[in-house]
Structure 1
Amino acid sequence: MATETLPDERALRFGRRERVLAQMANHDLDLLVLGRQANVRYVSGTPQLWVAGTRPFGPILVLERATGEIHLNSTWDEGVPEEIGRDRLYGLSWSPFTLTEVLKGLSVSGTARRVGTDALSPTFAQLLPDAFPNAELVDGEAAMRAARRVKTAEEITAIRQALDVAQTALSAAIGELRPGSREQSLLGAMMEAMTLAGVSTPATQNGAWVTSREHPWRRAREDRRIQPGDLVAFAAGALGGGYVGEVGRTAVAGDEPSGAAALFVRSKSLTEKLFAACRAGAPAVGLLDAYDQAGEALPPMPVAHGLGMGFDPPVVSAELARSVADTILEAGMVLAVTGYVWQEGLGAVFTRDAVHITEDGPVLLTSSQGGQ
């Protein structure tokens, strides 16, 4: 995977932009003012350095619905696609007043009727009405979520590339598993393999852990040293090309303990039911029902969440059951689906797979289905 600062492929960025413009029309938005990095890259196709990470809201990108013009916060044009001219770039500033003046200078500022933002800080909630004096400020995140939830063919390719890196890293970590090793060394092997594959940004932090034999969710022991017969869970996540790839598996340290084979069979039965629930037109809560059908307890982590440029909706969790009650799965979605089964005295089998929902049924994007 290339590490140079290059814009996303033309077909990738134009396909995404078409979806956003269509959703702007559906939500009656004249302008979108975006600050969240994943949204900015989704629209612009530009990897940015100086505004990445967690930070307060700032107007990093403005998209005009009528013309499709993009105004982008960037101090130089490296990595900026050719269709975004240099005259559409405005420099980085930590002053919200300076950025507001930039927005005031846009030709559409005075005529816009409805302006959507993907977040607002208290400061910009006060300043943006001055930048768009005749506009109603509304939530633009709904339009972005609607656009991003269904993936284009080019996005599926990009997700596959991120998944390839994650699976390479996962295999490297499992290859280092042996009694006496530590969780930290397994995580180090995972990160090293990911970096050698061209991705230096992990999408997950907790890459390897010994599952407890006494409690369904807790860590096994404080020293994090692996003992014979431990069931060790691995979760590899790579952020490559702006897209997240996640995969999870469980492996046994040393000789397999008595009863582990049956636990892996239970895991396989659960994942088959989870995959079967990933159908276009099916309710998202069907993924929660799959655990009940398999006779397994729901885990504390989400059972599924969208994959794309970050942790996308829907987020299917027992704690958020009400919020997904009316969510229907659509063809084109990609879900990270999590399986988790536990047995006292043995530990847990954890799996995470990427599933592409198509009109013809679910397509598994990760390899080595199941636990071992």
Structure 2
Amino acid sequence: MALEILPDAADLRRGRRERALAQMAARDIDILVLGRQANVRYVTGAPQLWVAGTRPFGPICEVVRSTGEIYLNSTWDEGIPDEIPHENLYGLAWNPMTLVEVLKALPGAATVQRVGTDSLTPTFAQLLPMAFPNAEIVDAEPALRAARRIKTADEIAVLRGALSVAETALDAARAELRAGVSEQTLTGALMEAMAAGGVTTPATQDGAWATSKEHPWQRARSDGRIEDGDLVAFSAGVLADGYLGEVGRTWPVGGVDGSAVAGLYDRWDDLRERLIAACRPGSPASELLAVYEATGERLPVMPVAHGLGLGFDPPVVTPQLRETCAQEIFEPGMVLAVTAYVWEAGVGAVFGREAVHVTADGPEVLTSSPSSMGARANSAGENAGVGIG
């Protein structure tokens, strides 16, 4: 089967590029030299092959503010947007001096005053001044973060598509939930549904796990087998069209203590609603940490929230970054993955993750999967237990 590589839609590319150029103007950056893949995708809209994994910095993409032109490291035209002409493409090179010559040929390279880069290695810290002899080399990552943190309407639409695939995959895995099934089988069902939805890049490694009744952050058992009475957490994350969509839910299986589980879901619902309400313009990200503390729930070991976009975006809201979180102010256009997590000894944990769009009118929840899991509806069984599978 031939692999079809398509660039992002023209309106999507244009909106992002305008935001990037505006940040360059605001920070007086003449040329951007980018190496981080999410930033390259943001300004170009071109998906690239063979770029997974960690690698040292290299000049993959350049943006010239005076002309708006983009130069891209690519050995072929497939999937390259029309606004990046063939003559603006340059091939792979093992010799870094070959790349320096490419940079020297950029319009204005010899005279520009400020060049921004999103990363740097000791080698390129020495080589970039050779390409831009009169320029100050500055950190451009703050400019890219500022551009990326506010999503355009087209970006919100693509995020909705990624979330739709994630939620469909979660539903498929949920349909396989029963006593005796393995966590691996549930994760496999989730991944299969993602692939059927056209996405073969999962954003998370673990798709399902039985929560522990003895420890708030551990799995129920090491063999991965699901048993009656478990609360099983599902985490579906996909990278679709470059954008990350995440949703999390928890479901009871077999005979569970109806009143205890219903009480746990009540706590989770309360925490979830408070967290969503805190995602309003002008509120500091640290408010999400305060919500956990106000409700008396343990702060989770995973981030309480992080930005969604072309990958895992700032802000990262975690107790380890309290001072940073206090300085991060929510703005209209931001999209967050918000995690609500509660645990009770002898019962287990209820985990949920929502995609929340911060708007001028308040938070908008982009996820649509049922959040109550039917636990309270089933609580009529009370101590006799409830069954879902």
TM (norm. structure 2) is 0.93
Q: How far, CA to CA, are the matches of 2:147 and 2:94 in structure 1?
A: 30
Q: Give the match's secondary structure for 1:164.
A: helix
Q: 1:123-179, CA deviations, whole angstroms, 9 ceiling, x for partnerless residues?
A: 111111111111111100000000000000000000000000000111111111111
- Whether the aligned pair in 2 keeps the contact of 1:308 and 1:334 (CA below 8 Å) is yes
Does 150-159 or 258-267 show the bigger shift?
258-267
In the other structure, the counterpart of 1:297 is: 298
Checking the alignment, whether the CA contact within 8 Å between 1:251 and 1:371 is kept in structure 2 is no
Task: Tell me what 1:334 maps to.
Answer: 335
Alignment of 1:256-267 (within 5 A): 256-258=256-258, 259-267=260-268
Task: Give CA-to-partner distance per residue, 1:45-87, whole Å, 9 cap, x none.
Answer: 1011133432111100000111100000000111111111111
Give, as a single letter, the amino acid of the residue that structure 1 aligns with 2:19.
Answer: R
Counterpart CA distance in 1 for 2:333 and 2:165 is 22
1:182 aligned residue: 182
Tell me the residue number matched to 2:151: 151
- Whether contact under 8 Å (1:177, 1:186) holds in the other structure is yes
How far does the alpha carbon of each residue in 1:231-263 deviate from its partner, in whole angstroms, 9 at most, with x for none? 111100010001000000001121232401110
SS of the aligned residue for 1:142 comes to: helix
Distance of 1:324 and 1:16 partners within structure 2: 25
Task: Provide the rounded CA distance (Å) in 2 between the counterparts of 1:360 and 1:89.
Answer: 43
For 1:25 and 1:65, the matched residues in 2 are separated by: 8
Deviates more, 1:362-371 or 1:65-74: 362-371
Task: Summarize the alignment of residues 1-372 of structure 1 with structure 2, pairs less than 5 Å apart.
Answer: 4-258=4-258, 259-372=260-373
Tell me which amino acid in the other structure corresponds to 1:71.
Y
d(CA) in 1 for partners of 2:51 and 2:224? 36
Aligned-partner residue type, residue 364 of structure 1: V
Instruction: After TM superposition, give the deviation of residue 101 of structure 1 in Å.
Output: 1.7
- In the TM superposition, residue 323 of structure 1 has moved relative to its aligned partner by 1.5
- How much has 1:368 moved relative to structure 2? 2.9
For 1:370 and 1:54, the matched residues in 2 are separated by: 36
- Cα separation, 2, equivalents of 1:223 and 1:285: 37
SS in 2 for 1:321: helix
Q: Alignment partner of 1:12: what SS?
A: helix
Amino acid at match of 1:150: I
* 1:104 to partner: Cα distance: 1.4
What stretches of structure 1 move > 4 A for 4+ residues in a row? none
| Contact persistence 1:113–1:135 (CA under 8 A) | yes
Structure 1 counterpart of 2:171, one-letter code: S
| Contact 2:243-2:310 at 8 Å conserved across structures | yes
Query: How far apart, CA to CA, are the structure 2 residues paired with 1:156 and 1:361?
Result: 16
Matched position secondary structure for 2:351? strand
> Which residue identity does 1:307 align to in structure 2?
L
Q: Equivalents in 1 of 2:52, 2:45: separation in Å?
A: 14
The verdict on how the C-alpha distance between 1:61 and 1:190 changes in structure 2, with shifts beyond 3 A counting, is same
Task: Return the alpha-carbon distance in structure 2 between the equivalents of residues 49 and 371 of structure 1.
Answer: 40
Q: 1:349 to 1:219 in 2, by over 3 A?
A: same
Task: Give the aligned residue type for 1:7.
Answer: P
* 8 Å CA contact 2:64, 2:107 repeated in 1: no
Q: Which residue of structure 1 aligns with residue 382 of structure 2? A: none
In structure 1, distance between residues paired with 2:107 and 2:19: 24
Displacement of 1:95 in angstroms is: 2.5
Sequence identity (%): 64
1:369 positional shift:
4.9
The alignment partner of 1:20 has SS state of helix
- Contact persistence 1:273–1:294 (CA under 8 A): no
Q: Distance in 2 between matches of 1:52 and 1:114?
A: 30
Instruction: Give the gaps of 5 or more residues in structure 1.
Output: none
Give the residue type in structure 2 aligned to 1:354. Answer: A
CA distance in 1, matches of 2:344, 2:142: 41
Unmatched segments (≥5 aa) in structure 2:
374-389
Contact preservation (8 Å) 2:167, 2:369 = no
Distance 1:138 1:369 in 2: 46
Contact 1:267–1:370 (Cα < 8 Å) also in 2: no
Q: What letter corresponds to residue 298 of structure 1 in structure 2?
A: L
Is the CA contact (8 Å cut-off) linking 1:281 and 1:330 kept in structure 2?
yes
- Matching residue's letter, 2:359: T
CA–CA distance in 1 between the matches of 2:344 and 2:362? 32
Q: What is the deviation of 1:97?
A: 2.0
Q: Could you report, residue by residue, the CA deviation over 1:284-304 in whole angstroms, capped at 9, with x for unpaired residues?
A: 111111112222111011100
Deviation, 1:283, is 1.0
Point out the more displaced range, 126-135 or 272-281.
Answer: 126-135
Between the two proteins, the alignment pairs up a number of residues equal to: 370
